[in-house]
Copies of this chain bind each other. A is one copy, B any other.
Amino acid sequence: MENRSQNFELDNLDTQILSILMEDATIPYTEIAKKLIVSGGTIHVRMKKMQDMNIIKGSHLIIDPQRIGYDICAFLGIYLEKGSQYKDAVENLKKIKEVVELHYTTGSYSMFAKIICRDTNHLRQVLNEDIQGVKGIQRTETLISLEESIKRQITL
């Protein structure tokens, strides 16, 4: 009905609801209602509004990759032979499940990727066989993350 996708006017209440649920999406509406001193129904209405406005994209279970054997996180600066090969490269990189993030960036690299691997062998395999096999990729630079010191969402 209403095409108000651009029209994002969040008041204090909306913002506070998001802040709480962004940290722990399992907190029940009733508890949020108590904290913010409104009724549970109000929380529900606000959440529905924000879902309709596509502000809320979903809810993810956060797991610790290291605990299930994925020990290495690395960033990849990717140089393409030609910038025009970007779209094809994206499609091919999507097929590599170890690539969890990919950005088209300004600066020295054409693209920038984040990858998660089990161990150094796995990383070498992904870099040498999978990534280098993608058409259009000239060369890559690897930054291995030895420690993830901060990992959070934006604060509202």
Contacts and interface: CB of A to CB of B under 8 A. Distances in A.
Contacts of A106: 142-144, 146
A57 to B, nearest CB: 5
Given A55-B63, A55-B68, A97-B154, 16 more contacts: A25-B61, A26-B59, A57-B62, A75-B105, A98-B154, A100-B152, A100-B153, A100-B154, A102-B148, A102-B151, A103-B145, A103-B147, A104-B145, A104-B149, A113-B150, A116-B154
A134 to B, nearest CB: 13
A23 B63 CA distance: 11
Contact of A25 (B55, B59, B111, B148): B59
13 contacts: A8-B67, A8-B69, A24-B59, A25-B59, A56-B61, A97-B154, A101-B150, A105-B143, A105-B144, A105-B146, A106-B144, A108-B143, A112-B145
A53 B66 CA distance: 12
A133 interface: no
Interface in A56-105: 56-65, 67-70, 73, 75, 90, 93-94, 97-105
Nearest to A91: B149
